[in-house]
Amino acid sequence: MDYGEEIVILFSKHYYILCTMNQKYPLLFLLVFLTTQIFADPPIPPKGFRWVVNGIFSDEFNGNKLNSKKWYDTFNGWEGRAPAMFIPEAISVKNGNLEIKSGVLDKPVNDFTIYGGAVSSKSSNAYYGYYECRAKASKIAMSTTFWMSNAKVPYADTEDTRDSYSQELDIQECIGGGTVHKKFRNGMNSNTHFRYVKPGEKKETFMSKGTGATLNSEVSDEFHTYGAWWKNANEVMYYADNQLFDTVMVCTDISSRPFDRPMKINMVTETYNWQPAPLKEDLLNDEINTAFYDWIRSYELVKVDKKMKLTYKEPIYTENIKLEVKNIDTSLLVDFTYKANRNRKIEFLFLDQDGNVLHKKKVAVYAGYGNNNLEIEMDNFKNKKPYCVQAKYTFKLKLKTVETVF
C-alpha cells in the first residue's frame, strides 16, 4: 500500500504519530495510537457504525470468584457426556483467568467416572454481534470450548407443530491432548448447527456447516483468541487470532432464517464418544489438566451516533485514531476510525506545509470502536492549500489536558 514518498514518525509521551505525505494530494495520511498494551479487537465496523461492548456477556475474570450475576457454574439441563460429569467444583477464578479443571470423581455416579466443568451465561439474549475469548486449552484429552446455544422451541414454519428446533454456534472446539484428530490440537474448529427434531421423533437431525483454521501453535501451548461475527440469521464470520479465515452461510435446508433467535454463551470442558477419555495420570497432573480463559468479550454493532449507556467499565481498547484524507471536488473527506473506552472529543487540525493551522474541527464521539467520516469545505482554508491533517483526543481532566506534542 503506497500512500506517498515520505514517512515521518514523531514521538511524544502519550502518542506515536505516523504521517505519510502524498504527492497526488497535498495532504497527509495520519495514524495516531497510544503506547499502551495491545488488546484484541473486533473487526473494523462498517462505515457509520461502531462496536459497543455488551457487559452482560463480557468478563475479564480479574476477581477471585465467578461473577454469579452473569454466569452459572454448570450447564442447566445437561450434566455432561459420560464419562465426564460437569461439577461446580471444577470452576475457579484466579490469577486473572477463569479456570476449568478436570479430574477423577471420588466415587462414580452412574456412568460418570471423571469430571470437567461448564460455565454458561445466565442471560440467553446474546444476539447478532461479535463474540470472542482468549483461551489456553488443557493438555489432556478433554475439550476446551467456546460456543453459543439456545433451547428447543416449536418450528412455526411447518403445518405440523410437533416439530421443533434449536441453534448451536460453535466458535472454538479443541482438545489440547487429543489423540484422534490433529486439527483439534493445533486448530480453531468452528461449526453452525440447526438442530431439528422431525414431527413424531425424538432424535435430532443436525443441519450443519462448519470450518476451521490451523493456528501458529498448539491450543495448549499458549493463549489464542477465538472470535465470531454473527452477522444475521444466515451468516457467521470466523476469526482466529484476530484474522478472518472464513465465512459460513448457515444451512437453510429446513429454515430460510436458521439462526434467527438469541442464544446463551458457554465455556465447557467435556469428553467425546469419538475421542478416548483422558488417562487417570493426566487428570491428576495439575500441570496439564486445566483450561484457562483470560477473558470473554461481546460487542453490539450500533449506529456511530447512537447514545448508549455503558454496560462495561473495563478499558479494553487501546485508544487510537486512524484516518485517511481524500480530495472530493470542493471539499476534503476525512475517513476515520477510532477506539475509545469512554465518550471522547477528537480535534482535527488542518495545517499548511509550514505547520500553520488553517482550520480546526472538534467532533464528539461515543465510546466504542467507530467508523465515520468528516467533510470539510475548501472555503474554510481561506484560499490556502492544506498539506497535513492531524487528529488527537482531547482529554478533559481535573488538573490538566493531555494532548499530542509535536
Answer yes or no: do 358 and 244 share one domain.
Answer: no
Domain co-membership, 143 together with 207: yes
Mean pLDDT confidence for 361-384: 93
Q: What is the pLDDT of residue 167?
A: 98
How far apart, in whole angstroms, are the C-alpha atoms of residue 262 and residue 190? Answer: 18
Instruction: Judge if 184 and 252 occupy the same domain.
Output: yes
Q: Are residues 270 and 173 in the same domain?
A: yes
**Per-residue model confidence (pLDDT) at position 4:** 29
Would the pLDDT of 30 be above 80?
A: no
Look up the domain containing 323 and give its range.
Answer: 6-36+317-402
Residues 6+ apart with CB under 8 A from 76: 120
Share of the chain above pLDDT 90, in %: 78
What DSSP state is assigned to residue 379?
G
pLDDT at position 9 is 27
* Given 60, 99, 173, 218, the catalytic residue: 173
240-259 residue pLDDT tens:
999 999 999 999 999 999 99
Q: How confident is the model at residue 33 (pLDDT cuts 50, 70, 90)?
A: very low
Mean pLDDT across the stretch 30-57? Answer: 75
Element holding 94 (H helix, E strand)? strand 91-94
Residue 24 sits in a domain whose CATH number is 2.60.40
Residue 15 sits in the same domain as residue 61: no
CB atoms within 10 A of CB 38: 8
Structural domain includes residue 43: no
Cα atoms found within 13 Å of the Cα of residue 392, Cβ hemisphere only: 19
47: in domain:
no
pLDDT recorded at residue 130: 98
Last residue of a domain, one of 260, 281, 303: 303
User: pLDDT per residue over 103-148, tens digit each?
Assistant: 999 999 999 999 999 999 999 999 999 999 999 999 999 999 999 9
Which pLDDT score, from 0 to 100, does residue 139 have? 98
Q: Which tens digits make up the pLDDT trace of 275-311? A: 999 999 999 999 999 999 999 999 999 999 999 999 9
Choice among 25-39, 155-169, 240-254 with the minimum mean pLDDT: 25-39
Domain count, the chain: 2
- What pTM was computed for the model? 0.88
> Do both 138 and 226 map to the same domain?
yes
Question: Is the predicted pLDDT of residue 357 greater than 80, yes or no?
Answer: yes
The predicted model gives 188-214 an average pLDDT of 96
Last residue of a domain, one of 303, 326, 345: 303
Question: What mean pLDDT do residues 373-380 have?
Answer: 92
Looking at residues 358-380, what average pLDDT do you find?
Answer: 95
Residues 351/387, Cβ–Cβ less than 8 Å: yes
Same domain assignment for residues 146 and 100? yes
SS (H, E, C) 22-50: CCCCCCEEEEEEECCCCCCCCCCCCCCEE
Q: CB-based contacts of 384: which residues, under 8 Å, 6+ apart?
A: 352, 358
The angle at the Cα of 243, spanning 186 to 212, to the nearest 5 degrees, equals 40
Is residue 183 assigned to a domain? yes
φ, ψ of residue 327 to 5 degrees: the values are -85, 125
Q: How far apart, in Å, are the Cα atoms of 232 and each of 172, 238, 288, 305?
A: 19, 13, 38, 22
Q: How far apart are CA 11 and CA 35, in angstroms?
A: 10
Query: Residue 294 belongs to a domain with what CATH number?
Result: 2.60.120.200
All 3 cell numbers of residue 306? 447512537
In this prediction, residue 22 has a pLDDT band, given cuts at 50, 70 and 90, of: very low
Same domain, 107 and 151: yes
Indicate whether 19 belongs to any domain: yes
**Mean per-residue pLDDT over the chain, rounded:** 88
Q: Which of 168, 218, 270, 324 is catalytic?
A: 168
Residues 87 and 206 in one domain: yes
H runs (alpha helix) in 216-345: 280-283
Question: Dihedral angle at the C-alpha atoms of 229, 232, 235, 241, nearest 10 degrees?
Answer: 0
Domain co-membership, 201 together with 345:
no
Residue 20 φ/ψ, nearest 5 degrees: -125, 120
Task: List the single range of 10-14, 162-166, 382-386 with lowest mean pLDDT.
Answer: 10-14
Same domain for 232 and 355: no
Domain end: 303, 331, 363, which one?
Answer: 303
Q: Which amino acid, one-letter code, is at 168?
A: E
**Comparing 215-219, 351-355, 401-405, which segment has the lowest mean pLDDT?**
401-405
- State yes or no: is 168 an active-site residue: yes
pLDDT at 296: 98
Measured from the Cβ of residue 28, the count of other Cβ atoms closer than 10 Å reads 23
Q: What is the pLDDT of residue 39?
A: 58
